[in-house]
Amino acid sequence: MKTQLIQDLEALVPRFAEALAEADASNVEAVRVQFLGRKGSLAALMAAMGGLDPQDRPEVGRVANAVKARLAELWQQCQERLAQKAQGATMPFDAGDPAWVPHVGALHPTTRIQQEICAVLQRMGFETVSGPEVETDFHNFEALNLPPGHPARDMQDTLYITERVLLRTHTSPMQVRTMLARRPPLAIIAPGKVYRRDSDLTHTPMFHQIEGLLVDRQVTMAQLRGVLTALVQAVFGASTRVRFRPSFFPFTEPSAEVDMSCVLCGGRGMLDCGEGCRVCKGTGWVEILGCGMVDPAVFAKVGIDPEEWSGFAFGLGVERMAMLKYGIGDLRLFFENDSRFVRQFA
């Protein structure tokens, strides 16, 4: 009797599955009652277990419980199938409907413009280098012709960790480290984060810079002008005009500020509506970076003979370039972690 009862219980599974497959919404409940109802097939077989010998009941009970669980699973699957079928009848699929477009991430505008600028310079032959953000006073200041007490140090509000260790205020220390480790000729760019104790509408305590350095024999200011003009026109368009103004930096001589024609008014200083341009403040020019010929004193600090070698250096703020490239009016937007802002650049 035990063997026959086990066989009858196990036979319920394929019979129930076949009956459900043939059922529809109108008769599926009758199938459930036939197999799982209080007077159904499963209940009848479980009632028959009362006639078993006591030692056979545990084994048959385990089979009965397994069959009951499997029948419940089949019933649930049938319910889901019929529900989907009913939904499909009320909401027919239209192959002409627009496809669902998955959400795709986007690069932050700072990352986008940094990658674009670096790619342009790499095509010119510049190599990318990296270095620590926690720097020594020597690499950040002294090697760049800024000894202790130099008034130009006041131009940068520095975040000191100890008296001789600080958060780098520019990426120039990477140039110093490269010149100390390698011999000319060199053509490098140093992108990265820099830190200054400054925070307002136009300044943040942390921002990004890209600095470039070329060291070779008989390097000229004309070569510097050619590199930077090509860079600006590659990023902002071939019609962009560039001008150089004399300036001062302690690590270059001569030094210059580089301006480009305004991206908003096209260098006219006035908008089409007749109002003055808010970006260039009516001048037609926007300052974008600083540059110059490497001061011989810097070469002397890193063991390069300034009588044999010459070079130029330049540095630009990545956020400022992004603001001009993408028309972003507030520097703080870069750091507010608003996904809506980033999605605009997808």
**Are 309 and 160 in a shared domain?**
yes
Chain center to CA of 277: 32
Query: For all residues of the chain together, what is the average pLDDT?
Result: 87
Q: Same domain for 18 and 154?
A: no
Evaluate whether 133 touches 193 at the Cβ level (below 8 Å): yes
Residues (pLDDT < 70) of the chain are 1, 88-93, 152-156, 199-202
pLDDT, position 93: 63
Q: Name the token pair of 34.
A: 């036939």
pLDDT score at 186 = 95
In this structure, is residue 97 part of a structural domain? no
pLDDT at 153: 67
Same domain, 44 and 180: no
Q: Is residue 102 a part of any domain in this protein?
A: no
Final residue before a domain boundary, out of 36, 58, 90? 90
Tally of CA atoms within 13 A in the half-sphere of 39 that contains its CB = 1
Q: Are residues 155 and 248 in the same domain?
A: yes
The pLDDT score that the predictor gives to residue 158 is 85
Pair 82, 116 in one domain? no
Q: The pTM is what?
A: 0.67
Say yes or no: 213 and 317 in one domain: yes
| pLDDT confidence of residue 337 | 82
Co-location of 145 and 78 in the same domain:
no
- On whether residue 95 sits in a domain, the answer given is no
252 and 327 belong to one structural domain: yes
**Do 269 and 277 meet the contact criterion of CB atoms below 8 Å apart?**
yes
pLDDT of residue 244: 96
- Predicted local confidence at residue 92, as pLDDT: 63
Claim to verify: residue 126 and residue 219 sit in the same structural domain: yes
Please, which residues bridge with residue 27 across strands? Answer: none
Domain finish residue from 59, 90, 121: 90
Give yes or no: residues 41 and 115 share one domain: no
Same domain for 254 and 328, yes or no, is yes
* Segment 121-135, tens digit of pLDDT: 999 999 999 999 999
Predicted pLDDT at 95 = 74
Q: E-assigned strands of 59-169?
A: 127-128, 134-136, 165-167
Domain endpoint, select from 33, 59, 90 = 90
Q: Let me know if residue 244 belongs to a domain.
A: yes
99: in domain: no
**Domain total of the chain:** 2
In whole angstroms, give the CA distance from residue 258 to residue 288. Answer: 6
Does the CA dihedral 153-154-160-162 come out positive or negative?
positive
Task: Note whether residue 225 is domain-resident.
Answer: yes
Q: What is the pLDDT of residue 100?
A: 79
Residue 144 domain flag: yes
| Residue 309 domain boundaries | 109-343
Tell me what pLDDT residue 202 has.
63
136: domain CATH number? 3.30.930.10
Please give the C-alpha separations between residue 267 and each of 227, 239, 241, 263, 339, in angstroms, as whole numbers: 21, 10, 8, 7, 33
The answer to whether residues 154 and 39 belong to one domain is: no
Residue 62 placed within a domain: yes
Please give the Cα distance from 190 to 128 (Å, whole number): 6
Residue 199's pLDDT is 67
Beta strands in the chain (DSSP E): 127-128, 134-136, 165-167, 186-195, 206-216, 242-249, 252-261, 285-294, 310-317
